[in-house]
Structure 1
Amino acid sequence: MFNTSPRLASRRIFLGSLACSAGLLSTSSWAQSPRANAASPSVLQIVDMSDSQIDVSKDFLVGARAAWQDLNSRGGVRGKAIKHVVLEVDGSAPSLRSAVDALKAMPECLAVVGSTGHRAATQLATLLQREVAEVAHVAPWLHSQPPEGQDTTFGIFATRQEQISHAVKSLSIMGVTEVGAVFASAAERTSYQADLEQAAASLKLKLRTYVPSNGLQALANELRPDSPRILIFLGGTPELLQFSQGIEKQAAQRYIVAMSDVNLQVLQQLGVSRFTPVIATQAVPPVNGNQPIVRNYRETLNRLYDEPPTPQSLAGYLSARYAQEVLGNLDGALNRANTLQAFARRLPVDLGGFRINPDPRRITPAFVTQSMVAADGRLVG
């Protein structure tokens, strides 16, 4: 186990206690009689609240809840409120199996929307395709294209390969000729090394690879003076915090480029190395942006929740808004079969400046931006 900051540990204990007190199954706060509940169309969101995923999942869920509550306050879809059902899992195979079994007992469920984090969403894509193929799996927090034959998952966010390509390309434009690749664990290396090597080779960048054997802080301490100044980090927020604590002990300034699972707001609160700016490649627009959808997100979040805007909660909001857009335009009755058929058309959608092309053969690039926690702690972008 890595050494986690006491403040981060406390935050996780608090968030975990909230999850446990809420129970594994929860719904939106608007009340209905049992008879109305039985007939109400619903969507199911499955969220991984394990220690390694809660920083992403908690924020993603807040954004999704805000979007569904806002929709229902405006009359729902065709005058029907959409019940937002949340199943919290711990990322294990048995918990995911229980979630799929629960879905099988929900004939009123139109789609599974916004499953998160990445590993749980990946496993769910396979389980749902195999066992509940008549249900659309919509806008999961998924960093890879579903394998060939998985045609009921409709992703909207940039894949890890697209994020890596964007990050590496931005570095090559800056004149960088060598970068380091820091993998939080052997699992990340197995998952993403090929994508990273391909992106670096296409831009003629030299790549040095680092994998911890005695922890990420020790790995940071072992960096030599001639190690690359720019390091691409593949891992989550707690792993990056640990790595940055090791970087703190080195006088040489380095830049860390992380991916979209890193929560910059948490890093900003906890403090990262004063020598090491952290840049996060995001699959959503900047949360302080001026796009209509981002302004709507900030207004809705401010009205319904006492939570600061984050890229992860914006992603949850966008996942729900995409589902709502398709549901609002489907042909025929509001049921599971017609819902799947509507998503299967894979039509491009513009959500107020956030353009979505859910076709896996898409020729238009996915949405990718970057934000940074500067060495003085300011959040930029």
Structure 2
Amino acid sequence: MPKQFSEDFKRQAVDLYETTEGATLDSIASDLGIGKSTLSLWLQKYRTTPPPNRDSRAATDLVETGEVAALLAENRALKNEKAKLETERDILRQAAKYFGGRDELVSRFQFIDDHRDTIPVKWLCRVLDVARSSYYAWVEAAPKRAARTQADEALAARVRRAQDREAGGDPAYGVPRVTADLNDGAPENERVNHKRVARVMREHGLSGIRLLRRVKTTVPDPNDQKVADLVQRDFTADTPGTRYVGDITYLPIVGGKNWYLATVIDLCSRKLAGWALADHMRTELVSDALTAARAARGSLDGTIFHSDHGSVYTSKAYAQLCTELGVTQSMGAVGSSADNALAESFNAALKREVLHGRAAFRDEHECRREVFRWVNRYNTKRRHSYLGQVAPDAFESAMLAAAA
């Protein structure tokens, strides 16, 4: 016969289960000598609150599960953020080396293009502060840039030929003369703008030769004659063979020795009408230059020759030669290089272009050879900006043809 349990026993059994920490149906039923199923039925009938041990544990499990999930999610987010920051750091490090100290927009575009296969373009643009639309526009224009680069390379090669002495060019030519040389006789569709020539020369490291230093060659004579300034810094003339200027310039030789060049320059055509080279600055030097000009022109009668107040130009011997040749002397103010600026400019160009940036000639033979070559080229081939980028001989020929 089944054992009978009082109502009070049943309620106490339920209370024992509910109040015992960590109690289970098996443990309580075993302690009371009842079946597990019997205790379960009593719990359903008499339980007034959820069993604290079982239900609290379940609640705790739920809380702990939620916290762990949140922590795991946060950990994943932190790992992702760390990986992102490390990648961005690597991008900036590579970019710093890539730019080589520059931060031009085109360099950033190129960096993005070179790394787009390993890093998303969106990410690269954000890190380098570049608009994606601008980058894609740059990519789309790549064929045009390639064509422009190729055209610039071809133009640079032409510039090098224009500056190549062996090819008949002139290494002293800068942008204006190079531009004129390239456009001389070229069809209209092949002519180049001087701004483009300047850009290409700058980008390819091409330039004309520059003068290194200057040395004073004018030695005034305190007892010289007083001569009026008939030029007044107006270095022009309407026709060739009417007004000339001249000066002396030094030509340094290795070892400290100098040679000297005296010139006679036509103010109309800028032609070097006469010149003389010697290892001294005596009166014979300037006299030889003026005599050479008379030989080249046939006559100097009625002309004006302008110079500084150097002692050779103010000497009695030179004044007598001028009188014999029919030349009227003119001189600027003492100590004013501006009063003979054209001759000064000629001297600077000659030394810049024959020395090719060196401090001195190797010897006097090289000096004579290079000066001879340059002064003849100056008249026949060297383009002059004042003459519209033509040589003096060509300018005079054009004037004669126009007057005929």
Query: With structure 1 as the length reference, what TM-score do the two structures score?
Result: 0.24
> Which has the larger Rg?
2
Which structure features the higher share of strand residues?
A: 1
What TM-score, normalized by structure 2, do the two folds share?
0.23
